[in-house]
């Protein structure tokens, strides 16, 4: 191999790598939109997780003003129940009126939303 053919190989290899990098950049920019301004509107919190069998869980998830009870396995996620989120009166204070962070377990949330508590 002479020097000219080696330079051609290096040039085309660099060109292919550059095209691959450019395609990856465009895909990340336009196809996988991660708009941080829009994501602030949806607040998602996992309130509780309870394992019922290996690789099978019941999760209580808060999405904005809804509480979802989900059945989660390694193959699927199923909606079991949906509730309106009720803010407990004892947890509302002057400091936490704008932002609240509740750490409750599954049984307490379930009993409160069923009206048992």
Is the same domain home to 59 and 86?
A: yes
- Full residue range of the structural domain in which residue 62 is found: 38-114
Residue 91 has which token pair? 């947890």
**Checking DSSP bridges between strand 56-63 and strand 44-53, what pairing results, if any?**
antiparallel
User: How many domains is the chain built from?
Assistant: 2
Is the same domain home to 53 and 11?
A: no
Is the same domain home to 49 and 65?
A: yes
Alpha carbon distances (Å) from 1 to 7, 13, 38, 88: 10, 16, 56, 78
Is the same domain home to 55 and 25?
A: no
Tell me the whole-structure pTM to 2 decimals: 0.44
DSSP label of 93: -
Q: Which of the two residues, 103 and 79, has the higher pLDDT score?
A: 79
The model's pLDDT over 6-32, given as tens digits with 9 standing for 90+, comes to 999 999 999 999 999 999 988 887 776
The model's pLDDT over 30-50, given as tens digits with 9 standing for 90+, comes to 776 555 555 556 788 888 899
Q: For the chain, what is the mean pLDDT?
A: 78
Q: How far is CA 67 from the centre of its chain?
A: 15
């Amino acid at each position: 191999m002479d020097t000219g053919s080696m330079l051609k190989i290096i040039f085309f290899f660099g060109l292919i790598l550059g095209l691959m990098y450019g395609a990856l950049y465009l895909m990340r920019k336009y196809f996988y939109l991660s708009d941080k301004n829009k994501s602030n509107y949806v607040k998602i919190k996992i309130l509780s997780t309870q394992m019922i069998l290996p690789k099978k869980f019941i999760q209580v998830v808060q999405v904005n003003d809804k509480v979802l009870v989900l059945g989660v396995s390694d193959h699927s996620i199923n909606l079991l129940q949906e509730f309106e989120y009720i803010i407990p009166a004892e947890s509302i204070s002057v400091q936490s009126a704008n932002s609240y962070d509740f750490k409750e377990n599954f049984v307490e949330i379930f009993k409160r939303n069923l009206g048992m508590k």
